Structure 1
Amino acid sequence: MLELAHLTAGYPGRPPVLRDACLTIAPGEAVGLQGPSGCGKSTLARVAALLHRPDHGTVTVDGHRVHGWRHRAPRSLRTRIGVVFQQPRQSADPRLTLADVIAEPLRANGRRAEVPDRLPELSRSVGLTDELLTRRPHEVSDGQLQRACLARALALEPRWLVCDEMTSMLDASTTAALVGAVESYRTRTGAGLLAVSHDDELLTRWCDRTVTLAAGAAGSAGAAGSAKDLDTWTS
């Protein structure tokens, strides 16, 4: 389970954007998170990904209560969570080729020897051609770069995925391709998903249930998504 209990979180010099927020995601479950701008969706996603320390509350990953954040979190917990952010150009090193972007987690975690085998597999899973892998971020489109960022998030085979507005800057065909890649991975591994989006239709079709986050407050459970419509996004 990925459990966020009674979280209060914010940023220095400002009132908290989350107050007493609770969310639980079961293994294999896809949960959508929606709400108005500024309500704390991205902050909650960053807390769930162990990238932002809450002021109060607890995060528990597969039965292990989290005590450290970012690089202070145990590697065994950090690597269980893969993250895809909204703006790929802010989350990819512009000096790296797409191949290096994808391989970055493997190299950083002492798994460099796996790169020759895993790189082709990961790039194919997100629809990147060999020719694109040699390019740097400024030489590809936002959609192509986001595909590389998704492949990077999948490189360590995480048990949990956090997709924070992953498709908000992309066209419909690229959105469908990325959602399809995430769902193929989840079908194969049983990974759980937290998907943050302003697109209610996307969350309804993609997720098992959707939670609405009100400004400065905890989210409440919304209606369950329609799994039968998922093929609209994965065909």
Structure 2
Amino acid sequence: MLELSRITAGYDRRAPVIRDVSLTVADGEAVGLLGPSGCGKSTLARVAALLHRPEAGTVRLAGETVRGYRFRAPRALRTSVGVVFQQPRLAADPRLTLRELIVEPAAATGRSRELAGRAAELAEATGLGASLLRRRPHEVSDGQLQRACVARALLLSPTLLVCDEMTAMLDASTTAALVAVVEEYRRQHDAALLAVGHDRVLLRRWCDRVTEFPTAEG
């Protein structure tokens, strides 16, 4: 499913954030990437999600070597990855209602009408009622907004989920609810998961295996 081979990446070529890191996630497998804040694991997650071009190394997704990143990645590859970030307020357009936020990927691919029913199902699955869906990010809690972000990540039925500190800002009950949503989705779709975090207990309960950063080897 996902193969990251000898990845070097960062935001300044003179000082890469990560150097020569490798990681694999097999089809249907859940892998936890464990490490302290600031170690570079979020940068690796962005590379895995095709949102950041590495300076060196190879990314393979579904057997295909990735050549382009962000909007230059082929649509089929780009939409095969669903991403949930740590801070939902930085990942959400403040002008959109939660309903519009969830259907945002469908609008970007011209499938809004086709996926309207699925968006409603995901909103319900993540615990968002009709009244919340009419609200904008500043009118809801972090947990409610993250529920919408999880629904958005699942909308296009990705085969790989990248959850970068997805539960770091959530209380225990919301964490349990969203992990359950992700796991139910994975059960139904046999999707793979890369869960990035610093909570060893959560990752060991959630994932098939946990690897520690930066010695991440598949």
- Normalised by the length of structure 2, the TM-score is 0.97
- Indicate conservation of the 8 Å contact 2:24/2:217, yes or no: no
Residues 1:191 and 2:188 are matched in the alignment:
no
Aligned residue for 2:76?
Answer: 76
- Indicate conservation of the 8 Å contact 2:4/2:57, yes or no: yes
Question: How far off its partner does 1:116 sit?
Answer: 3.0
Aligned residue for 1:219?
Answer: 216
Distance 1:204 1:102, change over 3 A: same
- One-letter code aligned to 2:106: L
Aligned residue for 2:67?
Answer: 67
- One-letter code aligned to 2:216: G
Structure 1: which 5+ residue stretches go unaligned?
Answer: 222-235
Q: Which moved more, 1:202-211 or 1:111-120?
A: 111-120
- One-letter code aligned to 1:146: Q
Alpha-carbon RMSD across the aligned residues, in angstroms, is 1.1
Q: Which moved more, 1:38-47 or 1:116-125?
A: 116-125
- Normalised by the length of structure 1, the TM-score is 0.90
Distance 1:13 1:6, change over 3 A: closer
Question: How far off its partner does 1:120 sit?
Answer: 1.4
Question: How far off its partner does 1:220 sit?
Answer: 4.4
**CA offset digits 1:117-148 (Å, max 9, x no partner):** 12211101211111110000000000000000
Aligned residue for 2:100?
Answer: 100
Question: How far off its partner does 1:37 sit?
Answer: 2.0
How many angstroms apart in 2 are the aligned matches of 1:105 and 1:37? 29
Question: How far off its partner does 1:186 sit?
Answer: 0.1
Question: How far off its partner does 1:114 sit?
Answer: 1.8
Q: How does 1:39-78 map to 2 (within 5 A)?
A: 39-78=39-78
How many angstroms apart in 2 are the aligned matches of 1:144 and 1:14? 40
Q: How does 1:142-221 map to 2 (within 5 A)?
A: 142-214=142-214, 218-220=215-217
Aligned residue for 1:127?
Answer: 127
How many angstroms apart in 2 are the aligned matches of 1:22 and 1:34? 14
Question: How far off its partner does 1:13 sit?
Answer: 5.7
Question: How far off its partner does 1:58 sit?
Answer: 0.5
- Ranked by relative contact order (alpha carbons within 8 Å, sequence separation 6 or more), the top structure is 2
How many angstroms apart in 1 are the aligned matches of 2:135 and 2:176? 23
Alignment coverage as a number of residue pairs: 218
SS in 2 for 1:60: strand
Distance 1:220 1:2, change over 3 A: closer
How many angstroms apart in 2 are the aligned matches of 1:21 and 1:107? 35
How many angstroms apart in 2 are the aligned matches of 1:6 and 1:71? 23
**CA offset digits 1:189-215 (Å, max 9, x no partner):** 00000000111100010000001013x
- One-letter code aligned to 1:196: V
- One-letter code aligned to 1:219: A
How many angstroms apart in 2 are the aligned matches of 1:185 and 1:70? 24
Question: How far off its partner does 1:156 sit?
Answer: 0.2
SS in 2 for 1:23: strand
Question: How far off its partner does 1:89 sit?
Answer: 0.3
- Indicate conservation of the 8 Å contact 2:103/2:116, yes or no: no
